[in-house]
Amino acid sequence: MGEFDLIERYFKRADRAAQRESLVSLGIGDDCALLSPRPGTQIAISSDMLVEGRHFLSTVNPAALGHKALAVNLSDLAACGAQPIAFTLALSLPSVDEAWLAGFSSGLFALADAHGCELIGGDTTRGPLNICITIFGEVPVAQPVHAPSVGGRTTALLRRGAQAGDDLYVSGTLGDARLALEVFRGTVSVPEEVFARARLRMDQPTPRVALGQALRGVATSAIDISDGLLGDLGHILKASQVGATIATEDATTLIANYSYLTGTSGTIDSEVSEKRLGWVLAGGDDYELAFTAPPALRDTVAAVAAHANTPVTRIGRIDAQPGLRLVGANGQAVANTWTSFDHFA
Ligand code: ADP
Ligand code: MG
């Protein structure tokens, strides 16, 4: 099978009704795709690359990989509060493995269709397995009512808007992907069903797209957690020129396997239990959102989170004083010994 047959067979889908109604004016097949942004909107753009041996193992299920490759990109749109429109796929493959391509494209399109996000182009070459997706989303511009001609202010959620006094929140759960990784590494062992749940979170993360959009106009800053909470929060603090205090007791409730790890449903594995705070604070690959919002908007945050069907937990606050502080249940300082992932560190 040649390059063009491969694209035709696995990535080009005939007569897309959804595409006609979306902002995609031209999809796969020409030298460029065409997007037609609506007046009063901006296009949010992000790329993420997945490299075999670095981000995933050759043994990973291809459908899960298709899901994850798109999920990490959707997560970036979510962090900016953008609505997904379309994406491109640049694929380097060692060979044409039809079973792999069928699995990969089915996982990819299942998630794409769930978010109304259209594959509009890409590139296909021979080489080491490498998957690069560029995604496009839409965010409204807030037009000044009295002077529309001066142009509007973006409603995108950015890293730079956190204010001293804001609450700090995290969506969903953290630490599960890291738990699965540690089981793979053989450093911990947990019951089969705990591992299965954690592994699903590692292989098929849920991008918080609805929550991100619901937080426009509510959150003052946001980021998606890919490298670990402390490291990613550090980007918000730097961009916003503020500091933060995290209540570690509140943070540990974020772990999905909390009930197991604390022993309320089953036996306590003290070794695992000890490590859990580190997994929550610095385990990567969870693709949740960390965001800040003024305390006056606590009810609003709860309402939009409920509307987006996504739990959120308040774990700390933003301070004027730079730096990141951890405090325990009695307000005592907790030493921060964790580091987040850095490809070149
Ligand atoms: P060009 O030579 O102009 O770069 P290609 O021959 O690489 O174009 O691609 C032909 C068409 O197929 C283009 O519309 C391109 O966007 C699309 N395409 C190529 N690879 C992929 C892929 N992996 N997924 C989706 N579309 C692809
Ligand atoms: Mg090309």
Write out the chain in H/E/C secondary structure: CCHHHHHHHHCCCCCCHHHHHCCEEECECECCCEECCCCCEEEEEEEEEEEECCCECCCCCHHHHHHHHHHHHHHHHHHHCCEEEEEEEEEEECCCCHHHHHHHHHHHHHHHHHCCCEEEEEEEEECCCEEEEEEEEEEEEECCCCCHHHCCEECCCCHHHCCCCCEEEEECCCCHHHHHHHHHHCCCCCCHHHHHHHHHHHHCCCCCHHHHHHCCCCCCEEEEECCCHHHHHHHHHHHHCCEEEEEHHHHHCCCCCHHHHHCCCCCCCHHHHHHHHHHHHHCCCCCEEEEEECHHHHHHHHHHHHHCCCCEEEEEEEECCCEEEEECCCCCEECCCCCCCCCCC
Percent of the chain with pLDDT over 70: 88
Pocket probe for ligand 1: among 5, 7, 117, the residue whose CB has the most ligand atoms within 8 Å is 7
Pocket of ligand 1 from Cβ distances under 6 Å: 7, 11, 28-31, 89, 91, 119, 121-124
What distance in angstroms lies between residue 33's CA and the mean position of ligand 1's atoms?
Answer: 10
Give the ligand with the smallest distance to the CA of 28: 1
Mutate to test the pocket of ligand 1, among 26, 123, 126 (most ligand atoms within 8 A of CB): 123
pLDDT over 90 (residue 149):
no
- Residue-wise pLDDT for 99-125, tens only, equals 999 999 999 999 999 999 999 999 999
Closest atom of ligand 1 to CA, residue 30: 14
Strands 34-35 and 24-26: antiparallel
Top mutation candidate among 8, 28, 135 for ligand 1, by most atoms within 8 Å of CB: 28
pLDDT at 266: 46
**Ligand 1 centroid from CA 282, angstroms:** 38
**Other residues' Cβ atoms within 10 Å of the Cβ of residue 42:** 17
Distance from C-alpha of 26 to C-alpha of 23, rounded to nearest angstrom: 9
What is residue 1's predicted lDDT score, i.e. its pLDDT?
84
| Radius of gyration for the alpha carbons in the chain, expressed in angstroms and rounded | 21
Indicate if the pLDDT at residue 201 is higher than 60. yes
Distance from Cα 124 to the centre of ligand 2, integer Å = 7
The amino acid at residue 56 is: F
pLDDT tens-digit series, residues 225-277: 999 999 999 999 999 999 999 998 888 888 766 555 554 444 545 666 667 78
Residue entry with tokens 């298709």: 66
